[in-house]
Amino acid sequence: MTEMTFSSRSVQAAGQPVSELMAEALAHPELISLAAGFVDQETLPVEITARAQQAAFANQDAARASLQYSNPQGLNELRDALLRQSCQWDDSGIPDQVSNENVVTTPGSNQLLYMLANILLDPGDIIICGSPTYFIFIGIVKNVGGETYGVAIDQHGMIPESLDDALSMLKKRGDLARVKAIYLVPYFDNPAGSTLTKERAGEIHEIANRYSEHNKIYVVTDEAYRLLDFNQTAQPSLWAGDRNLNHTIVVGTFSKSYSPGIRVGWGILPPELITPINDVKGNIDFGSPNINQYIMYEVLRNGWLQEHVSKLCDHYQQKQNAMLDALDEHMSTIDHCSWWNPGGGMYVWLTLPEIIDSAFDKPLYQATKQAGAMYVPGHYCFPKQGEPVQHNTIRLSFGQQTPAKIAEGVKCLATAVNSVLSIA
């Protein structure tokens, strides 16, 4: 039999962490999963979605339009609504040089991230990320032959001095022309739960502009968790510091704030990126699911999103508090364990004593499974270049489990940590 050969791009796509994580979860359904970044099934907006669909089907013409192909760039009415809503979140009006022509809709935000990687990166090009960062994005960049380079973060997001140092070093070694973008998850980020401050956002814009010597270095702001703000204290977006979209790319999704099944995301893009994004999108799907866009337009038009998000934040804050209380109870007596209160989102980032490795094939993970829980090993979330990979880290999710199960899962983890430390 002739041996099948596959493209180098398919080889680069192999071995992604999400595949291992899903396989592990499916193999052990009896465990309390503090790993999956799923939303809580009980929070899904069934009644609002039914109302929105009824409104979208208010007459035969509207119903038929929603069941037809869409404009590849997205439903005009939804793009208008997304632009207005994004500006309202920043308490600002729509800039004169920005219109719905700068907006594209996608089936979730990952497609937009994938398209951006395709149009910005040649093999060997670099995107600067936080260290840690969203591990799916690391895989997306790898898939197109690009590289991610990690810079330090803390509770307040990417550290500008670390970003400046990284770009200075890349410039000295002759690699600055390969840097095409800086990628951030500025609100309650996945995985670390950090939120970028307004002051740091301004510094990041300045640094991106200063190092744009060979080509424009874009600032990609992935706002997946922006609305999951339990205390309504989040800062204005990175777009607020670059209102005319000189170099800022806004990436949004309703997967966490409304429903992952609705598959509606969006981008607000600098004008020079619209045509290449539309060209790539036309080759991929010829337009996002139209009926879903009509539904989300009705959700936004009628003010139902904020109604849902308000309930969602109350729900997830209880879960977050359960996790933080359990960590205080069971982990605070273990030396060199640390975490912070994210104040939103779905994740808590846990740093363990350096002697512990959290990987699947190491004693801690096996001991945690035996105790009855599972987590995401933190090393998946670190770019291979830049800041050192921290193998003693864990991403904990409070999205899916009940408060009682969250507390029990954290107790299982603490039991495992103490067990491993006792024989280290």
Q: Is the peptide bond before 191 cis (omega within 30 degrees of 0)?
A: yes
Per-residue pLDDT tens for 321-374? 999 999 999 999 999 999 999 999 999 999 999 999 999 999 999 999 999 999
Give the mean model confidence (pLDDT) for residues 100-113: 98
Boundaries of domain holding 107: 48-305
- Cβ burial of 93 (10 Å; 0-12, 13-18, 19+) is exposed
Assign residue 285 the CATH number of its domain. 3.40.640.10
pLDDT band per the 50, 70, 90 thresholds, residue 15: low
- Per the structure, how many domains does the chain have? 2
Mean pLDDT lowest among 216-220, 272-276, 285-289: 285-289
pLDDT band per the 50, 70, 90 thresholds, residue 88: very high
Contact 352, 358 (CB under 8 A): yes
Domain's final residue, options 270, 305, 340 = 305
Global pTM reads: 0.96
Same domain for 264 and 413 = no
Domain's final residue, options 305, 332, 348 = 305
Furthest-apart CA atoms within the chain: distance in Å: 70
> 382: Cβ–Cβ under 8 A, 6 or more apart, which residues?
131, 132, 133, 150, 388, 389, 390
Same domain for 234 and 152 = yes
Assign residue 384 the CATH number of its domain. 3.90.1150.10
Contact 295, 262 (CB under 8 A): yes
What is the distance of C-alpha 391 from the center of its chain? Answer: 21
Query: What element of type H or E holds 283?
Result: helix 271-284
Same domain for 283 and 339 = no
pLDDT band per the 50, 70, 90 thresholds, residue 8: confident
